[in-house]
């Protein structure tokens, strides 16, 4: 396994981050335990979850994924010590006792309360990375950084990070943190893949300039960059009515190019993300142990300049060729 620093911190994390969103919904507790053991044995030390996972899609139980991870830690074997653990706060937890405050947001009251609940579910006394899952424009930065400083100073969170922030949000967050002589953000987690290159315009340059780690989610675009995408799109007219001919052509060209390389679409898509030096780790979300084995192969896929150029032709960046100031 390869490792890299998380932004400008001294913390080294694996090039793959194990996403656990499927645990408790698409993945049973037994399989989740096996996947986590297998990931650690493969050298993956970076785990990602969120307080709402398990019921995040409107079904199941909010907090279930954190509970499963906590049970895995409780088995012992230095499992907790081997993991750089990240969780998130923002979404509703459908907790009746919170009354009108049971809504999406980042009030200081909610952040402190939800951190305590996450620690109980995770069966640990701290998380290594605490994400603000989204920006909350109802909360001032003095309120936000005030509560985050309490969490860091009490040892309940080692680092603070953001997710789904715009470029200007990252800049404002760090400016406000600097005024308080506080470290502020160390990473941004954002959707980024061959079909979604918009972050190259502002978010990636901002993260690079500020020295933030950049963790990406949905690297396969929800399966659109995987091996079975075209089979689904070429099914009944009802299945592909939402996809344009241009999209089908793009994915066909991509599949043809991957065959030329002798690699699977999913591996090439993942290797393309890993090629970007700004990216710390893409989130991988294996639903089965077999998925994890398949994903790890992407680390061995090497894309040369000509391959990267061809991928740029198939999946143009925002507005076509990016200005020099946005170059990797």
User: At 84, is the secondary structure helix, strand, or coil?
Assistant: strand
Residue 19 to residue 36: CA distance in whole angstroms: 10
Per DSSP, the three-state class of 289 is helix
Q: Which two tokens stand for residue 296?
A: 């790890």
Q: What are phi and psi of 132, to 5 degrees?
A: -80, 110
Q: How far apart are CA 242 and CA 233, in angstroms?
A: 9
How do 281-284 and 213-217 pair as beta strands?
parallel
Q: Are residues 130 and 151 in contact, defined by beta-carbon separation less than 8 angstroms?
A: yes
Nearest to 194 by CA among 274, 302, 261: 274
Q: At CA 12, angle to CA 147 and CA 217, rounded to 5?
A: 70
Q: Please give the Cα distance from 164 to 210 (Å, whole number).
A: 16
Q: CA nearest 225: which of 245, 259, 252, 201?
A: 252
User: What one-character-per-residue DSSP string does 218-263 give?
Assistant: -TTGGGTTSTTHHHHHTS-HHHHTTS-HHHHHHHHHHHHHHHHHTS
Angular region, 60: left φ>0, alpha ψ -120 to 50, beta rest: left
The residue among 9, 52, 3, 4 whose CA lies nearest residue 210 is 9
Q: Under a CB-based contact definition with an 8 Å cutoff, are residues 83 and 40 in contact?
A: yes
In contact, 184 and 212? CB cutoff 8 Å: no
The greatest distance separating any two alpha carbons of the chain, rounded to the nearest whole angstrom, comes to 58
User: Which residues are known to be catalytic?
Assistant: 53
Helices (H) then strands (E): counts for the chain: 12, 10
């Amino acid at each position: 396994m390869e490792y890299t620093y998380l932004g400008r911190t001294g913390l080294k994390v694996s090039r793959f981050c194990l996403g656990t969103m499927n645990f408790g919904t698409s993945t049973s507790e037994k399989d989740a335990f096996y996947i986590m053991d297998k990931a650690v044995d493969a050298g993956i030390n970076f785990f990602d979850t969120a307080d709402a996972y398990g019921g995040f899609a409107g079904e199941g139980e909010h907090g279930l994924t954190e509970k499963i991870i906590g049970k895995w830690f409780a088995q012992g074997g230095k499992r907790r010590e081997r993991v750089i653990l990240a969780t998130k706060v923002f979404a509703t937890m459908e907790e009746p006792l919170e009354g009108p405050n049971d809504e999406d947001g980042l009030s200081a009251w909610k952040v402190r309360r939800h951190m305590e609940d996450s620690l109980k579910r995770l069966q640990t006394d701290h998380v290594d990375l605490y994400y603000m899952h989204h920006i909350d424009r109802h909360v001032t930065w003095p309120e936000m950084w005030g509560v985050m400083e309490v969490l860091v100073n009490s040892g309940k969170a080692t680092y603070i990070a953001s997710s789904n922030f715009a470029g200007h949000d990252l800049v404002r967050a760090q400016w406000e943190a600097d005024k308080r002589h506080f470290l502020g953000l160390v990473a941004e987690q954002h959707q980024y893949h061959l079909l979604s290159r918009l972050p190259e315009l502002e978010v990636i340059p901002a993260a690079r300039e500020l020295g933030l780690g950049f963790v990406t989610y949905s690297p396969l675009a929800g399966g659109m960059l995987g091996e079975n995408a075209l089979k689904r799109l070429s099914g009944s007219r009802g299945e592909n009515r939402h996809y344009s001919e241009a999209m089908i052509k793009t994915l066909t060209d991509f599949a043809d190019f991957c065959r030329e390389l002798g690699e699977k679409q999913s591996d090439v898509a993942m290797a393309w993300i890993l090629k970007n030096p700004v990216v710390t780790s893409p989130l991988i979300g294996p639903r089965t142990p077999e998925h994890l084995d398949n994903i790890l192969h992407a680390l061995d896929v090497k894309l040369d300049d000509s391959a990267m150029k061809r991928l740029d032709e198939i999946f143009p960046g925002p507005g076509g060729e990016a200005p020099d100031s946005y170059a990797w």
